Chains A and B, each alone.
Chain A
Amino acid sequence: MATEPASRSEAINTERGDMAVPAPVLTMGGIGKQFPGVKALDGVDLRLLPGEVHALMGENGAGKSTLIKVLTGVYPADAGTIELGGAPVAFGSPLEAQQAGISTVYQEVNLCTNLSVAENIFIGREPRRFGRIDWKRMRARAKKLLSRLELSLDVSAPLSTYSLAIQQMVAIARAIDVEARVLILDEPTSSLDAGEVEQLFRVMRRLKEEGIAILFVSHFLDQIYEISDRMTILRNGTLVGEYLTRELSQVQLVAKMIGQELAALERLHGEAKVFDRPLIEARELGRTGAIEPFSMTIHEGEVVGLAGLLGSGRTEIARLLFGADHAGSGEIVVSGSVTSLRTPRAAMGHKIAFCSENRKADGLIPDLTVRENIILALQATRGWTRPVPREQQDELVGKYIKALKISPPNPEHLVRNLSGGNQQKVLLARWLILEPRLLILDEPTRGIDVGAKTEIQRLVAELSDGGMAVLFISAELEEVLRLSHKVGVLRDRRLVAELPNDDSLTTDVLMETIASGASQMNASEASNVDASGGRAS
């Protein structure tokens, strides 16, 4: 199961086996997009056939959203061509794309919830009579359009009175009213429950029959296999290949999405350790819409890896354990006593530290210096009246700049001017000076160069040898395997397995587990939907 360059030829094989291919509605060829310092897309091809659901697959940073944005005119492409119905096109804005028949429905519903359902469908092209908006006709047309999607709503009620699922349907109704030829659904299911997903799929099938090409992005493998006919897989901004869904097994899919950069790596830990001093224990901890209740114990000196695809609930576990989100159910036991971690500060009181995945939004203060960012958490625990003495600051900061090789090694440099890897190290340093007992690292090596990556990996091993517990989250399975003593596997917002990391555990086994899941969520199990309901209370 080679996944690297050979994949392109695999795509070709698929092509031959699939004889009667209708002319594509949309063809993107050799798309390239460069951002400062990052090659977001490089030679990516995509074609959409009429009447098919085409899944766009890839992990974080694979380039899915960039590709969609290039297609819909949010970004201009640096290279490549886009053809719609055989004619070359280049859209300057999402509006132009929409007028040409390419409509997009995003994960976070981009509608105005203060307006009525009918208006959200028709705003900007309301039916008018003698120049004034014909509300009656608008409502009637909205009702008709929604009934095409098997929905019966009060179209004059504000959209905010309906659930997210219904809002999503309204967004789709808006999208298909403009004679869409291509409908892009960008993670439409991430906040829907099983019944709502099934309802959405019914709508998608209906649209498919009408000949609309649907580009579908989802992190839920079951959903992909249930609804999609064909898929294009991206990795690190390049094309892995195009496949027929029925010809690609879930394990193959996961392998292609994650890839295997390096061959077998030596495990960083020496001889097996015995973990008998539990540090933190989650008991049936859960949060609706984020993660199904899970139980997990992390011991002192233990590195627990979390493996799973993007959106599978990895980050959600981390946030619950740090008190960044409130748990809806279950309890947390720290050092033998039940505690509630209602705020990050409470977690910090228990010496829990959390390096978040999104360095820019949830981690660093870009306008502050390296020194200030590093001592921020320490200062927060002391309050503003007891500043960390400057000598101590300089000593701590100097120590970690040296230990983590932060460059430039200037503590007064603004963090915003540092590279991604160095920003990550600054964030790490912030938490390390607190000497935590549990360090939660969410994708600490994403988007940073190989050298920095190895350094961070080595650091994690050292810390755990020194007795610190680490919860290590990464999309790269090799990395998880290399560092962890045990691995929790997540799939579709559920902790499906907890595997000890012995010699029998390989990336293949992990992929298999991710792909199959110990307990699958089956979207069809709750198929009966109350189409008229769904009002948010």
Chain B
Amino acid sequence: MRRLLWPVVVLVLLLALNVFFTPSFFSIEVKDGHLYGSLIDILRFGAPLILVSLGMTLVIATGGIDLSVGSVVAISGALACLQISQDTSVFTAVVSALVLCVVLGAWNGFLVAAVGIQPIIATLILMVAGRGLAQLITGGQIITINSPAYKVIGGGYWLTVPFGILIVIAVLAITAFLTRRLALGMLLESVGGNAEASRLAGIRARGIVIMVYAFAALCAGVAGLMISSNVSSADGNNAGLWIELDAILAVVIGGTSLSGGRFSLSGTVLGALIIQTLTTTIYSIGVPPETTLLFKALVVTAVCLIQSPSFRAKAFGRRGRTAPPSPAPEEKVRVTA
């Protein structure tokens, strides 16, 4: 619990800052049977990032990283919108998009776990090629669709709650179930914490790693559907651009170490909410929105420095190098002479 302290403090501070500038910040009202309010907006607009970050958390827990999720976001939205624009049923479109995402994720996992390529490099391939693939699907255009059923995913409501938030809750619940109720989480942490010891304990890491990359891509795929549904269009070029970096950032802020091992799903959700709130805050306190990236840079640097043991040692630690007095020389002579 202690490691969630800092993310919580930061989030509370950000929210407090918002209340200071916008007193009505915390108010939530029901309009036309829909929930409205700044907090709801943060959750709603932050939903894709939370999804991608959840998948990323598991990948990072194994000691890996997935750079390709942004491209997968674009591919998923593109394929779904393309099919819907060709009058395929929404259901088929969504399912086929997600299946493609899982295949792409499994490909990443295969390169990492079976071929043995470093995760950064292995997922870089799909990061580059995936963008091209997304544009190939959309034909380089922005595909605009008009499908009320598809619109529900990102822009709909169910029982007054935005559908996107419900999806996030569902995926979060599933992830928590797989990792904490079933034994996936422990085995992931074991593989990420000490791969050789895990092998000697009889854990078969390969299948687990492939599955985790596939899961990360699936999460990204759902996020991609959400993003494209929200704007009723697919943009192969810009959808999900840099979301992988935000997701990695969210995971790191949430207290999961990039070197793998222990992970925290709630920390990741907090991290993603912090990033989203930061964006909202910058709008609401009147700072030009262009500077969001500057704040992000500051946050990344600060978080990483705080997590770095050598920084903590240099900044806070004292380096005690006082040698005890050397033994009396006579003593030594008596021993050897």
| A contacts B directly (C-beta below 8 A) | yes
Q: Using an 8 Å CB-CB cutoff, how does the interface string of A1-26 with B read, 1 for contact, 0 for none?
A: 00000001001100100000000000
State whether A368 and B186 are in contact (beta carbons under 8 Å apart), knowing that A80-B327, A362-B196 are contacts in the complex: yes
Q: Which residues from A are CB-within-8-Å of B336?
A: 11-12, 15, 29, 45
Whether the pair B201, A430 counts as a contact (CB closer than 8 A) is yes
CB within 8 Å of A: which B180-215 residues: 181-184, 186-187, 189-190, 193-194, 196-204, 208
Whether the pair A365, B194 counts as a contact (CB closer than 8 A) is yes
- In the bound assembly, the distance between CA atoms of A496 and B327 in angstroms comes to 45
State whether A345 and B204 are in contact (beta carbons under 8 Å apart), knowing that A367-B261, A387-B181 are contacts in the complex: yes
CB distance from B183 to the nearest CB of A (A): 4
- In the bound assembly, the distance between CA atoms of A98 and B336 in angstroms comes to 28
Instruction: Name the residue of chain A whose CB is nearest to the CB of B183.
Output: A387
A354 at the interface (CB under 8 A from B): yes
CB distance from A32 to the nearest CB of B (A): 8
State whether A384 and B182 are in contact (beta carbons under 8 Å apart), knowing that A362-B196, A368-B193 are contacts in the complex: yes
Q: Which residues from A are CB-within-8-Å of B9?
A: none
State whether A388 and B201 are in contact (beta carbons under 8 Å apart), knowing that A79-B323, A368-B193 are contacts in the complex: no
B287 at the interface (CB under 8 A from A): no
- In the bound assembly, the distance between CA atoms of A354 and B196 in angstroms comes to 13
A344 at the interface (CB under 8 A from B): yes
CB distance from B254 to the nearest CB of A (A): 16
Question: Per DSSP, are chain A's interface residues mostly helix, strand or loop, or mixed?
Answer: mixed
Instruction: Name the residue of chain B whose CB is nearest to the CB of A242.
Output: B336
Whether the pair B187, A79 counts as a contact (CB closer than 8 A) is no
State whether A365 and B183 are in contact (beta carbons under 8 Å apart), knowing that A76-B323, A80-B326, A81-B326 are contacts in the complex: no
**A interface residues, how many (CB within 8 angstroms):** 45
- In the bound assembly, the distance between CA atoms of A386 and B186 in angstroms comes to 12
- In the bound assembly, the distance between CA atoms of A368 and B323 in angstroms comes to 35
- In the bound assembly, the distance between CA atoms of A357 and B331 in angstroms comes to 38
CB distance from B216 to the nearest CB of A (A): 16
Instruction: Name the residue of chain A whose CB is nearest to the CB of B262.
Output: A367
State whether A77 and B198 are in contact (beta carbons under 8 Å apart), knowing that A368-B193, A387-B181, A387-B182 are contacts in the complex: no
Q: Using an 8 Å CB-CB cutoff, how does the interface string of A358-393 with B read, 1 for contact, 0 for none?
A: 000111111110001000110111111111100000
Whether the pair B200, A362 counts as a contact (CB closer than 8 A) is yes
Q: Which residues from A are CB-within-8-Å of B318?
A: none
Whether the pair B190, A365 counts as a contact (CB closer than 8 A) is yes
State whether A364 and B327 are in contact (beta carbons under 8 Å apart), knowing that A45-B335, A379-B183, A388-B183 are contacts in the complex: no
Whether the pair A364, B194 counts as a contact (CB closer than 8 A) is yes
Q: Which residues from A are CB-within-8-Å of B190?
A: 365, 368, 372, 376
B321 at the interface (CB under 8 A from A): yes
State whether A30 and B201 are in contact (beta carbons under 8 Å apart), knowing that A387-B181, A387-B183 are contacts in the complex: no
Q: Which residues from B are CB-within-8-Å of A363?
A: 197, 200
CB distance from B149 to the nearest CB of A (A): 34
Whether the pair A30, B332 counts as a contact (CB closer than 8 A) is yes
CB within 8 Å of A: which B111-131 residues: none
- In the bound assembly, the distance between CA atoms of A79 and B323 in angstroms comes to 7
Whether the pair A380, B324 counts as a contact (CB closer than 8 A) is no
CB distance from B87 to the nearest CB of A (A): 39
Residue picked from A29, A45, A76, most chain B C-beta under 10 Å: A29
Q: Which residues from B are CB-within-8-Å of A376?
A: 186, 190, 198, 201, 203
Residues of B near any A CB (own CB < 8 A): 181-184, 186-187, 189-190, 193-194, 196-204, 208, 261-262, 321, 323-327, 331-332, 335-337
11 intermolecular pairs with C-beta atoms under 8 Å apart: A30-B327, A45-B336, A78-B323, A343-B199, A364-B194, A366-B193, A368-B262, A376-B203, A379-B187, A387-B181, A387-B182
Other contacts beyond A29-B336, A362-B196, A366-B193: 4, CB < 8 A? A344-B200, A367-B262, A368-B190, A380-B202
